C-alpha cells in the first residue's frame, strides 16, 4: 500500500528546520572526482559518471534527471599549479552563453583551461 507522509518540521532533538528547507534546499547532486584521467569519481550523490572531454573540459551525468535545466552549480578545483573555479561550458568560448546544460548532464570547464587533480561540484534546484 502506497501513501504519503506529511511532516512540517524535522528535528534531531537539538536543532529543527521546516521540511520545505530539506526538500528545496538540499543538494540534488554532488561529485568529487579526479580530473587528470578519465574523470574517476572519488565520491558522489546522484551522479552516474564524469567524462573528460579534453583539457579542463568535463561532463557530469546525473543518475536521476532534474525537473528542468534551471539549476545552479558551484564548484572548485585544485589544479596542477593553482586552485580555481569551474564555469559552464560555452561552445563559443568565454563570454558566450553556456551550452550543453540539460536535465541529465552538465558540461563545465576549468578557468585555465587546465586539467585538475581534484574537482568538486554541487548542483542545487
Tens-place pLDDT, residues 52-99: 988 888 999 999 999 999 898 988 888 766 667 777 766 555 555 566
Parent domain of 104: 27-124
In this prediction the pTM is: 0.77
User: Residue 43 pLDDT more than 90?
Assistant: yes
Asked, for residue 114, whether it belongs to a domain, the answer is yes
Asked, for residue 1, whether it belongs to a domain, the answer is no
CB 120 within 8 A of CB 31: yes
Whole-angstrom CA distances from 91 to 22, 57, 88 are 35, 11, 10
Asked, for residue 18, whether it belongs to a domain, the answer is no
Asked, for residue 84, whether it belongs to a domain, the answer is yes
Asked, for residue 13, whether it belongs to a domain, the answer is no
Asked, for residue 44, whether it belongs to a domain, the answer is yes
Asked, for residue 20, whether it belongs to a domain, the answer is no
Amino acid at each position: 500500500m502506497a501513501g504519503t507522509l506529511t511532516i512540517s518540521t524535522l528535528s534531531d532533538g537539538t536543532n529543527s528546520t521546516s521540511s520545505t528547507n530539506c526538500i528545496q534546499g538540499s543538494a540534488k547532486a554532488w561529485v568529487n572526482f579526479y580530473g587528470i584521467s578519465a574523470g574517476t569519481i572519488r565520491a558522489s550523490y546522484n551522479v552516474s559518471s564524469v567524462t573528460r572531454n579534453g583539457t579542463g573540459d568535463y561532463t557530469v551525468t546525473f543518475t536521476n534527471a532534474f525537473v528542468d535545466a534551471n539549476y545552479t552549480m558551484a564548484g572548485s578545483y585544485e589544479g596542477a599549479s593553482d586552485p580555481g573555479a569551474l564555469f559552464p561550458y560555452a561552445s563559443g568560448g568565454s563570454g558566450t552563453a553556456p551550452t550543453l546544460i540539460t536535465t541529465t548532464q552538465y558540461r563545465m570547464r576549468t578557468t585555465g583551461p587546465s586539467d585538475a587533480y581534484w574537482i568538486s561540484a554541487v548542483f542545487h534546484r
